[in-house]
Amino acid sequence: MSRILVTGAGGFIGKSLCRALAARGHGVTAALRRAPSPGELSPPGTETRVLGDIAASADWAHSLGGIDIVIHLAQRAHRRPGHDTPAGEPAAAAILATQAAHAGARRLVYLSSIKAMGERTLPGHPFRPEATPHPEDDYGRNKLATEAALREVAADTGLELVIIRPPLVYGPGVGANFRALMRLSVSGLPLPLASIANRRSLIFSDNLADLIACSATHPAAAGQLFLACDGSDVSTPELIGILAAARGRPSLLFPFPPAALRLLRALPRLGAQIARLTDSLEISDTLSARINWTPPVASSDAFRRTAAALS
């Protein structure tokens, strides 16, 4: 078994990952921004380190001793407009990777984002690992820049690098956009979304944690770029129907011309939300077969568990 350092361990994905790693028998060092609250229990075999915000000047010496693998999750998934690119994030990741290599770690797994590739796909043309990235916002460009910085360190030091680009991640405790969609789906409000014929790839938090845990130790994962997904794409109307049914509610959708919805994308605040509801974003997950990985939780069960946890 390996000794693994997880940055961002206190986040939505980090908590699932620490459980998955502990269940596999690994020793986990959970790097946190803040001390856990009294009610937050770490999985058995997990050591916690409170390090605050990660910066390019960070000294990881006290956390990297005896570490075999680093999994770098620490990020800010949702930021205010105009404040969404910490310029030091690529440099901070590079410093962590360099210090990890010098301390004897053999591999670093970086959780990037599908936004490093772009915001949408055309029907029948999913994102593939070999495709040229075209990020459209600061968040996506920052993720791509961090990937590049880590590749440089890997080339210079021999550190094995694994990059994972997930789409929207959902699961019990999810916040932001998916939580807002869940609340909308059970609101009882009629929604003009029945005519949307898009396809979206998603991934359940426990499935993503399982993929990260697998890629952290599998020999064939070294040097690979994985596009993570559940493997069951859904349209916006299908997703709303699934979430509503999981809460015992009807989905009140009515047809509305998609062209008219697209016109609303010009509105300053509503436009981005309309785009997420109407655009397609499909992923071709072809490389996970190299590490014999398949999602352990079926989408139907994942959506049910997520909706059941909505308070």
Annotated catalytic sites, by residue?
Answer: 139
SS in 3 state form for the chain? CCEEEEECCCCHHHHHHHHHHHHCCCEEEEEECCCCCCCCCCCCCEEEEECCCCCCCCCCHHHHCCCCEEEECCCCCCCCCCCCCCCCHHHHHHHHHHHHHHHCCCEEEEECCHHHCCCCCECCECECCCCCCCCCCHHHHHHHHHHHHHHHHHHHHCCEEEEEECCEEECCCCCHHHHHHHHHHCCCCCECCCCCCCCECEEEHHHHHHHHHHHHHCHHHCCCEEECCCCCCECHHHHHHHHHHHCCCCCCECCCCHHHHHHHHHCCCHHHHHHHHHCCECECCCHHHHHCCCCCCCHHHHHHHHHHCCC
